[in-house]
Structure 1
Amino acid sequence: MTTQYLDHKLECPFCGVIRLNIPADAKPTTPIHCAECGEYLGTWDELQTDFEQQGGTDGVFRLDKGRIQKLNSSG
């Protein structure tokens, strides 16, 4: 069963928000920082991998163009 909360690398361990500063031309090795506090969160590849391991597009959230959107759940 998929959880309704993201954790691991997507949530900033410093300020607790999930707000990523992702350049439009991000490559797998591009460093990604928290848009709230500026702390380093990992490479773009690491963050995408972490998102996919937490359900990716089959989960409760969708990552599209650097934005995380909560999907409506049925039932």
Structure 2
Amino acid sequence: MTKQYLNHQLECPYCLTIRLRIPADAGPDDRIFCDDCGEFLGTWDDLLTDFERQGGQDGVFRLDKGRIRRID
């Protein structure tokens, strides 16, 4: 089986990790930052759109409570 990875905006272009600092009550215009280095990654709406474009909840990955999990 080939490993599949998320790409685009979810990966921090500065430190290359996927650790998002997401407020519990995040709205579409809330600014999301990398939890490792603190750099701005985009708005919550931008990041959700990117996640859904890559398969979202119906693809290889699931976003649950701010954590991205690979679905086997």
In the superposition, the TM-score normalised over structure 2's length comes to 0.92
1:31 aligns to what? 31
Displaced runs of 4 or more, over 3 A: none
1:64 aligns to what? 64
SS of corresponding position for 2:25: coil
Give the total of aligned pairs.
Answer: 70
SS of corresponding position for 1:69: strand
Per chain length, whose mean CA-contact separation is higher, i.e. which structure has more relative contact order (CA < 8 Å, sep 6+)? 1
1:4 aligns to what? 4
SS of corresponding position for 1:26: coil
AA partner of residue 55 (structure 1): G
Q: Shift of the alpha carbon at 1:25?
A: 0.9
* Runs (5+) with no aligned partner, structure 1: none
AA partner of residue 15 (structure 2): C
Q: How well do the aligned residues superpose, as a CA RMSD in angstroms? A: 1.1
User: Is 1:45 aligned with 2:39?
Assistant: no
Q: Work out the CA distance in 2 between the residues paired with 1:30 and 1:65.
A: 16
Q: Work out the CA distance in 2 between the residues paired with 1:35 and 1:58.
A: 26
> What percentage of aligned pairs have identical amino acids?
67
Q: Shift of the alpha carbon at 1:54?
A: 0.3
Q: Shift of the alpha carbon at 1:71?
A: 1.1
